[in-house]
């Protein structure tokens, strides 16, 4: 009887919120702003604007100059939502188009012109993005100066999209997959991912910064809530993607926008959803070493930016999502991968990722963790985040040579030499990264003399995912420093490291993969010295192969 009663009590407590397995939500929401920054941080920014230290004041002055530029010129709302950049390609030449006007788009190689859908709609997406960027710049201008002209412009954009969002046709990013479009599409943008990132990075913080400016009436706020925020959130809610960078952005939008409309259920869902939320993402989407599962540095940082937005919004709401070693590893791990030219290996769907592009993320992480490693990754110049966090410690950034490491969780061996050439290499043997992974097991990259010596092509900068060049070149085994058997690409698979050793004079790794080609056992050894990289392949097959 006691056990039965106890079980009933536990079940009741779950429904009543007495037992929580996630993060407890705050009792009430702070006064705005509390998403873009909080009131203390804003005062630090205003103080910096009047600072005698020109290196500090210039950072804020530049924000105000950007706001001045943002409110100049015509504000145009496109007639419908935007389309994905992957459509903006010449079908014949498989290269990105050049915009001649809003309705004329030309291939730079064959000079063929395109117009109409979906090409015009890619330009519409850029126009929407420009509108939102101008809105956010203006909102910061108001927050810093208290000048209403900036808030009025930002309000015009917000109200303009609240008026138009539900009237824009619902559409998706594919031409034929109706079911997928219905699930993953949107109105402002062609996919829930883009609507989530737009909400997180631009719409929510702009609304937050001008909320108490007086330029928005209560009816304005209700319209923005009911016709923009809630419809976007509901659109995201129908598309649960689990282990996926999309879901990280969905979560960030739910936390930020949900908090701004004072709806705890959205905040709770973005953090605590057991199959999709922030906590789930940290538990399921990372390798044990802290690498995002897609094994692409571009997507690692893309997802990390969303996770950071959630953690910062939660911090300003009084919740601590930063207390996670897994999250911390996502920031510190990249230092081990730095190659001779300062970039990170172009594994998977990546273009060119350099840590200097993400100093703002490292600044946020240093504020959370105060880790000396992160202090060496922040800029040595004042920035928006160093000001609002009132960082007094000086950056310890200096040229360093990473240690050679075997990261079995990530599936990479990192080889760094001590010579003047700065030779460095990375071998990939881990799991397939899914949609953004490549068929590249036991492939390697090689850098030296501040240059890339053995190239991994990554992906096209124009995101040519839907064109043959992506699957037949960028993703294919042929374009990588890998063994090709019988002229065909590998099957998706994974390998393992067998041996690894490192000394000041030499670093060596031996790895194998027996699943890339049926009936083929492949072992590859890399030996790196200060003067050269030696690559030795051992292949065994059950039949004659080429």
199 and 280, same domain (yes or no):
no
Last residue of a domain, one of 400, 416, 444: 400
What is residue 342's predicted lDDT score, i.e. its pLDDT? 85
Number of structural domains the chain divides into: 3
- Contact partners, residue 287, CB within 8 Å, separation at least 6: 293, 407, 409, 410, 411, 430
Is residue 15 in a domain? no
418 and 385, same domain (yes or no):
no
Is residue 143 in a domain? yes
14-66 pLDDT per residue, tens: 333 333 358 889 889 999 999 999 999 999 999 999 999 999 999 999 999 99
190 and 44, same domain (yes or no):
yes
> Which two tokens mark 169?
């046709």
Closest CA to 302 of 204, 405, 373, 200: 200
**Mean pLDDT over residues 213-231, rounded?**
99
297-316 pLDDT per residue, tens: 999 999 999 999 999 999 99
Is residue 134 in a domain? yes
What is residue 501's predicted lDDT score, i.e. its pLDDT? 98
- Quote the mean pLDDT of the chain: 93
What is residue 352's predicted lDDT score, i.e. its pLDDT? 85
**Mean pLDDT over residues 106-130, rounded?**
98
Element counts in the chain: helices (H) and strands (E)? 19, 14
427 and 297, same domain (yes or no):
no
Residue 451: give the domain boundaries.
405-541
What is residue 237's predicted lDDT score, i.e. its pLDDT? 98
Element (H, E) at 325: helix 325-332
What is residue 20's predicted lDDT score, i.e. its pLDDT? 38
**Mean pLDDT over residues 206-218, rounded?**
99
342 and 409, same domain (yes or no):
no
Is residue 244 in a domain? no
Is residue 373 in a domain? yes
Q: Given strand 451-454, what is the order of strands in its sheet?
A: 405-407, 412-416, 424-428, 443-448, 451-454
189 and 41, same domain (yes or no):
yes
The CATH number given to whatever domain includes residue 444 is 2.70.98.70
390 and 514, same domain (yes or no):
no
**Contact at 8 Å (CB) between 110 and 93?**
yes
The radius of gyration of the chain's CA atoms, rounded to the nearest angstrom, is 25
Q: Which pLDDT band, with edges at 50, 70 and 90, does 125 fall under?
A: very high
Is residue 344 in a domain? yes
Is residue 516 in a domain? yes
Give the integer Cα–Cα distance in Å for 86 and 93. Answer: 14
Closest CA to 216 of 148, 277, 271: 148
Is residue 218 in a domain? yes
The CATH number given to whatever domain includes residue 142 is 1.50.10.100
391 and 425, same domain (yes or no):
no
96 and 130, same domain (yes or no):
yes
Last residue of a domain, one of 239, 264, 289: 239
319-352 pLDDT per residue, tens: 999 999 999 999 999 999 999 888 999 999 988 8
69-98 pLDDT per residue, tens: 999 999 999 999 999 999 999 999 999 999
40 and 77, same domain (yes or no):
yes
383 and 460, same domain (yes or no):
no
Residue 371 has pLDDT above 80, yes or no: yes
Last residue of a domain, one of 369, 400, 431: 400
What is residue 3's predicted lDDT score, i.e. its pLDDT? 34
226 and 102, same domain (yes or no):
yes
Token pair 């083929």 is found at: 520
């Amino acid at each position: 009887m006691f056990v039965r009663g106890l079980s009933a009590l536990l079940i009741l407590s779950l429904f009543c919120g007495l037992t929580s397995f996630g993060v407890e939500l705050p009792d009430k929401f702070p006064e705005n702003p509390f998403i873009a920054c909080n009131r203390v941080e804003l005062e630090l920014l205003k103080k910096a604007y009047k600072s005698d230290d020109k290196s500090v004041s210039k950072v804020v002055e530049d924000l105000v100059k950007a706001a001045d530029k943002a409110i100049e010129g015509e504000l145009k709302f496109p007639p419908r939502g935007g389309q994905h950049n992957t459509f903006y390609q010449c079908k014949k030449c498989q290269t990105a188009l050049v915009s001649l006007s809003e309705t004329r788009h030309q291939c730079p190689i064959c000079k063929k012109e395109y117009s109409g859908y979906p090409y015009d709609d890619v330009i519409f997406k850029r126009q929407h993005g420009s509108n939102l960027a101008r809105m956010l710049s203006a909102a910061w201008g108001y927050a810093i100066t208290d000048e209403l002209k900036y808030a009025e412009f930002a309000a015009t954009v917000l109200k303009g999209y609240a008026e138009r969002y539900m009237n824009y046709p619902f559409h998706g990013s594919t031409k034929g997959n109706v079911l997928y479009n219905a699930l993953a599409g949107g109105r402002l943008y062609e996919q829930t991912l883009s609507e989530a990132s737009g909400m997180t990075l631009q719409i929510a913080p702009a609304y937050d910064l001008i909320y108490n400016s007086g330029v928005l009436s209560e009816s304005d706020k209700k319209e923005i809530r009911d016709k923009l925020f809630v419809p976007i959130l509901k659109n995201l809610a129908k598309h649960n993607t689990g282990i996926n960078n999309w879901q990280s952005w969905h979560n960030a939008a739910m936390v930020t926008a949900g908090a701004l409309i004072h709806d705890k259920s959205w905040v709770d869902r973005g953090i605590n959803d057991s199959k999709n939320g922030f906590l789930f993402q940290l538990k399921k989407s990372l390798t044990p070493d802290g690498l995002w599962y897609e094994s692409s540095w571009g997507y690692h940082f893309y997802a990390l930016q969303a996770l950071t937005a959630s953690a910062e919004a939660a911090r300003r709401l009084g919740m601590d999502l930063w207390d996670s070693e897994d999250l911390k590893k996502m920031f510190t791990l990249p230092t081990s991968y730095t190659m001779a030219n300062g970039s990170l290996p172009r594994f998977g769907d990546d273009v060119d990722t350099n840590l200097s592009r993400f100093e703002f993320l490292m600044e946020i992480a240093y504020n959370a963790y105060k880790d000396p490693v992160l202090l060496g990754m922040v800029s040595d110049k004042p920035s928006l985040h160093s000001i609002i966090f009132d960082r007094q410690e000086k950056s310890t950034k200096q040229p360093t040579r990473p240690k050679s490491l075997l990261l079995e969780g990530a599936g990479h061996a990192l080889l760094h030499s001590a010579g003047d050439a700065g030779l460095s290499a990375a071998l990939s043997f881990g799991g397939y990264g899914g949609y953004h992974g490549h068929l590249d097991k036991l492939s390697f990259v090689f850098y030296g003399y501040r240059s890339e010596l053995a190239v991994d092509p990554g992906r096209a900068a124009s995101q040519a995912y839907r064109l043959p060049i992506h699957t037949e070149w960028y993703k294919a085994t042929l374009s990588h420093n890998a063994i090709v058997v019988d002229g065909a690409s590998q099957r998706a698979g994974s390998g393992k490291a067998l041996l690894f050793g490192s000394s000041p004079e030499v670093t060596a790794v031996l790895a194998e993969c027996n699943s890339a080609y049926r009936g083929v056992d492949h072992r590859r050894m890399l030996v790196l010295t200060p003067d050269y990289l030696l690559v030795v392949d051992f292949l065994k097959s059950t039949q004659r192969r080429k």
